[in-house]
Structure 1
């Protein structure tokens, strides 16, 4: 069986399915998770996010940065325009344009991003002195593709907006310690089947908000890991597009989707990796957003 580990944003431009979904998830047709929204760009569903305050959305840091440039992507810079949809079944035509006030990254992630960018630029300069043409372009692509830093740095971001969103509810955040063995709920707008990634009609397919259950395997200072369906049948399994969506415990956000390990073409995975928000308890940007 062919296996892969995915930084979930890597595949979002390629993902397509009849109904974008969390693998092994249930359609949120009753709108119980209306605080979870889809982030759109250029007609493509990019990531998921959660409204946690009247003007603040929590998502994954890799959803808001341009790694090749070592900085925030233009929609997430002050004055940028962010397109979101809170509909359970979302299409590009359903999006609401929000003006961004500012986007904050955890200091450790921002520092890691800068180090990665500096390293990539130094390698690219070396290659430019030795190669040219397609050989140079291929080597640059290879360097820029080596950009996963989410397993070492907290992959979270707070996006504050100017535009009011009164119709979208909020979910509270908890920074309390998360125990191994906790039963949690995963929510997101990710793909439903790995086999559908290369569909040519992906832009015509809706993104659906789904939720599913899993259990925490282990917790460290940066991330925690939940069962994928390979290790525990029926467990929710993340798929590209779920990035930035919430992990919920007792109705509170305790984590942010980041990476799925061992995702296979049989629509199974070993585990899901999510940011451990308790590890960000000293992040000043939380004040006054979270409970402790």
Structure 2
């Protein structure tokens, strides 16, 4: 029996696969199977799961989403995240990204032999925490369960992955119930590190659900609860189809204690556009915005609103005006620089004239 452990190593056309350009072309499996034996979910089933335009994710905090690290090979380049507000993948909202945080041991696995052997497998936690600026109260928050899953526990696979339908429909949210099995079910290795929860695919258990491309990053739930216990990572299989499904563990006893890593990131103060540039900024919460006369003192303004251009005037030569730490010319309407920590910081140094001003829209 030949086993495949496909992550994101294969290069395929983004346009041909319908994968959003912010993601890598990810291969959970090389087949065209749907979430086998699952069903199209109702709005009431696991509504914290979201479509990310090529991968699946789950909301776990007010501004926090989990997905698979292999969906984000260049996390620093991701400035926006498109998520579904419901099961309709055509109904998406655009969020500005503060940071994409791949688990450090996924980025640089210090304990991996790099030979893809089963005794080496499970050392790379394939999980990413995405922090955004905007609130999405229409999307419920799922709870990350710190308690380890035991073999035989009922779990539910979820995802917006591909389907065996021609022509293919828009991605649909599907779910399928299963139970966990030992990862040793899939290989005669002596041990497998405790990095993943696993379920059997339909090759081993007829009728069991299996993952496919597009399900990457989706949540594994304890069946019938709002508790997330894993993140969809990959499939093992052979030429006949899916053998096993693999989910990055999130609990306190997972390798590298993924739960504490996530909690630490979620509890840490978030960097803001004006962090390290100026203090006590005035918040700009709407666009367009006009500052009015700035006076002669130093002034600092911060915004996470989607803005495009700005203008300013009344600044004498001794007084500077910067946007995100970059000098800004007051010679007429000018495009804003790239966002910094999800937004913009407008900083006027002290000086003349008291009637100096800026506006943005």
What is aligned with 1:53?
61
Alpha-carbon distance between aligned partners in 2 of 1:64 and 1:164, rounded to the nearest angstrom: 22
Alpha-carbon distance between aligned partners in 2 of 1:56 and 1:39, rounded to the nearest angstrom: 13
**How many Å apart are 1:97 and its aligned residue?**
0.6
Structure 2 SS opposite 1:49: strand
Aligned residue-pair number: 231
Per-residue CA shift, 1:142-199, capped at 9, x if unaligned?
xxxxxxx984300001101101111111111112111111111011001123xx6xx7
1:28 aligned onto 2:44: no
1:217 aligned onto 2:193: no
**How many Å apart are 1:276 and its aligned residue?**
1.2
Choose between structure 1 and 2 for higher RCO, CA contacts under 8 A separated by at least 6 residues.
1
What is aligned with 2:77?
74
What is aligned with 1:102?
99
Taking only aligned residues, the RMSD between alpha carbons, in angstroms, comes to: 3.3
**How many Å apart are 1:2 and its aligned residue?**
9.4
Structure 1 SS opposite 2:155: strand
Higher percent of residues as helix:
1
8 Å Cα contact 2:249/2:258 also seen in 1: no
Alpha-carbon distance between aligned partners in 2 of 1:288 and 1:73, rounded to the nearest angstrom: 16
Structure 2 SS opposite 1:155: coil
8 Å Cα contact 1:21/1:209 also seen in 2: no
**How many Å apart are 1:90 and its aligned residue?**
1.3
Alpha-carbon distance between aligned partners in 2 of 1:257 and 1:39, rounded to the nearest angstrom: 14
What is aligned with 1:128?
none
Structure 2 SS opposite 1:283: helix
Structure 1 SS opposite 2:242: coil
1:276 aligned onto 2:249: yes
What is aligned with 1:6?
6
**How many Å apart are 1:263 and its aligned residue?**
5.8
Q: 1:112 to 1:215 in 2, by over 3 A?
A: same
Alpha-carbon distance between aligned partners in 2 of 1:9 and 1:211, rounded to the nearest angstrom: 26
Alpha-carbon distance between aligned partners in 1 of 2:9 and 2:159, rounded to the nearest angstrom: 13
Q: 1:73 to 1:39 in 2, by over 3 A?
A: farther
**How many Å apart are 1:26 and its aligned residue?**
0.8
For residue 247 of structure 1, the aligned residue among 220, 225, 229 is 220
**How many Å apart are 1:107 and its aligned residue?**
2.3
Structure 2 gap ranges (5+) = 19-31, 115-119, 184-192, 268-361
- Return the TM-score normalized by structure 2: 0.57
8 Å Cα contact 2:68/2:127 also seen in 1: yes
What is aligned with 1:86?
85
Structure 1 gap ranges (5+) = 41-45, 67-71, 120-148
Alpha-carbon distance between aligned partners in 2 of 1:213 and 1:282, rounded to the nearest angstrom: 24
Q: Name which one, 1 or 2, has greater alpha-carbon Rg.
A: 2
Q: 1:288 to 1:64 in 2, by over 3 A?
A: closer
Alpha-carbon distance between aligned partners in 2 of 1:20 and 1:58, rounded to the nearest angstrom: 24
